[in-house]
Structure 1
Amino acid sequence: MRYDDTYANAKFIPGGTDYPPRWAERAVAFRAALGARARLGLCYGPAEAGWFDLFLPEAEPLALMVFVHGGYWLAFGPRDFSHLAAGALARGWAVAMPAYTLAPRARISEMTAEIAAALPVMAGAVAGPVVLTGHSAGGHLAARMASADVALSAPVAERIARIVPISPLADLRPLIETGMNADLRLDAAEARAESPALHPRRSGTSVHVWVGGDERPAFLDQARRLGNAWACPVTIEPKRHHFDVIEGLETPGNPLMAALLG
């Protein structure tokens, strides 16, 4: 298909196929070390994937960070990325990581609805401000929560301090011409409707886009497109590719964490 290589990542990253098993291994060790402060499988909805994991700091949480996992809406789950909660926990924040139904069992519009349904439940578990982030397809879903067309209750929307999509897919129209669309089932109408860059940003919602400087040109273009559409900052982090750009979430003093937590 026309854009298969354009949106491929692993084949253009040295050792790209080694990252997912390494993520999963670190995530398992992280949850084990956290013990009772890892509250797993909390329910937010009736679907099989209607659950989230909640990780708590040692003291009363200052606020809540939500991380939405990537995988082109086709792969992975929150428990492949549990270790990315480390930076926020070290700063006294709680972290929630929701699951959502993957394609082909769900369309992207249904995934957006699931994350919107999860937000009030996750926010209800921890007092204080809420910040959202997500990576790649998860960056798309996080950005959708800032889109004016996604209905959030006023109490939830008012608690969202900022949203930081990491390497997000902001305009889904090119993905129609990829092989993965056999499972995503995007048509022109849904691709437009589910593209954050084609919707206004919700009034009062702060957004900061983050992307690696060594990413595929398409992801740099997607990040800039969202930044231009929403007139929000775009940080291009030098010497980071699509798979290691998320590693900053593990370190409390990393610039990505500063952009996210303030």
Structure 2
Amino acid sequence: MTTPHLRGRCAEWGRMSRAERDRAYDNSAAVPESPALNEARIAASREFRARHAAGLDLRYGPRERNLWDIYAAEDPNAPCLVFIHGGYWQRNRREDFACLAEGVRAHGWSCALPGYTLAPEITLADIVAEIHQALDWLAGHGAAHGVAGPVVLSGWSAGGHLAAMGLRHPRVTAGFAISGVFELGPLRDTYLNEKLRLTDEEAATLSPLRLPVVNKPLAIAYGTRELAALVTDSRDLHALRAASHAPGPLLPVAGADHFTILDQLRRPDGELTRATLGLLPQR
């Protein structure tokens, strides 16, 4: 933990117990209502998928979870929001976030959700590679499934990290990282590393805060009731990009926690839906 953005955190982190370090990244424990919020989202997503079954389970790679769900707009040249689910790279499924497509689809956009293999079955480096593989597939086959327009690559929590890592892909026009983790070094000292098994090299090469800035629009959002570690990562990534004059707003969502922030992407009039629309020129 020696990079410039971490120097202010090192002393405090060093004084913390293992239990305190675990709590610093335990979003579920920080939001007692999270089980009910997750159950409601999963139920809504199940209903949404049942109503929009045409573009489901499109294979992009050989592993079980290497599948796309594409909810295409009527206009194949409409923009597409690609949403990568979270779960600290070790839990959750794309299917359980389908209802988030409702927000942008109300504005004539497509929405697509890629699945990816979870840790510890593969490493985080391999997960990042799978997202790039999924985007390669979308570049080559998306038009055949109604997605030929510009892509905004988004994600929440671990998906926010993966969105930041995928911003450089040539198929991506802009990005939107929501409640993400952008410095991986501290995770090695928490319960999360039992499955992630991060190495020093992975922490260095897979932390967006340690990588060259990609000069594409990237909106970065967090809830004002998020854990401090995630708030700091979002602010630091925006500051790093701003220092290089890279475009994209920092969006603190008032009153939102790590889970309720997704309401602002699901709602057609939500703050994050509006921000997504604003990442591309108006057609």
Does the pair score TM above 0.5?
yes
Of the three residues 208, 214, 217, the one matched with 1:202 is 214
Distance 1:60 1:142 in 2: 23
SS in 2 for 1:208: strand
1:260 is aligned with what amino acid? T
1:33 is aligned with what amino acid? R
Single out whichever of 245-254 and 163-172 deviates more from structure 2.
245-254
Of the three residues 184, 188, 197, the one matched with 1:172 is 184
Question: Which runs of structure 2 are paired with 1:76-225 in the superposition (5 Å)?
Answer: 76-123=92-139, 124-125=141-142, 126-146=147-167, 152=169, 157=170, 159-203=171-215, 205-225=216-236
Single out whichever of 245-254 and 127-136 deviates more from structure 2.
245-254
Q: Alpha-carbon deviations, 1:142-174, whole Å to 9, x = none?
A: 000125xxxx4xxxx2x5331010011000000
* Alignment RMSD (CA, Å): 1.5
Residue 60 of structure 1: how far off its partner (Å) = 4.4
1:12 is aligned with what amino acid? A
- Is contact 2:56–2:68 with CA below 8 Å preserved after alignment? yes
SS in 2 for 1:3: helix
2:50 corresponding residue in structure 1: 32
Structure 1: state its 5+ residue gaps: none
2:26 is aligned with what amino acid? A
- Is contact 2:180–2:230 with CA below 8 Å preserved after alignment? yes
1:239 corresponding residue in structure 2: 255
- Is contact 1:73–1:102 with CA below 8 Å preserved after alignment? yes
Q: Alpha-carbon deviations, 1:88-126, whole Å to 9, x = none?
A: 111111111000110000111101000011113224411
Single out whichever of 67-76 and 185-194 deviates more from structure 2.
185-194
Identity %: 36
Distance 2:124 2:56 in 1: 25
Distance 2:152 2:26 in 1: 29
SS in 2 for 1:97: strand
- Is contact 2:153–2:174 with CA below 8 Å preserved after alignment? yes
Larger radius of gyration: 2
Distance 1:13 1:179 in 2: 18
Structure 2: state its 5+ residue gaps: 1-17, 243-247, 279-283
SS in 2 for 1:52: strand
- Is contact 1:140–1:165 with CA below 8 Å preserved after alignment? yes
Distance 1:200 1:111 in 2: 20
1:42 maps onto 2:58 in alignment = yes
SS in 1 for 2:69: strand
Single out whichever of 18-27 and 53-62 deviates more from structure 2.
53-62
- Is contact 1:162–1:260 with CA below 8 Å preserved after alignment? no
- Is contact 1:164–1:208 with CA below 8 Å preserved after alignment? yes
Distance 1:242 1:78 in 2: 18
TM-score in terms of structure 1 length: 0.91
1:83 is aligned with what amino acid? C
1:65 corresponding residue in structure 2: 81
Distance 2:77 2:51 in 1: 18
2:44 is aligned with what amino acid? R
User: How many positions carry a matched residue from both structures?
Assistant: 250
Distance 1:35 1:66 in 2: 17
Distance 1:71 1:237 in 2: 20
Distance 2:69 2:135 in 1: 13
Of the three residues 9, 21, 30, the one matched with 1:3 is 21
Single out whichever of 102-111 and 57-66 deviates more from structure 2.
57-66
Distance 2:118 2:71 in 1: 23
1:169 is aligned with what amino acid? V
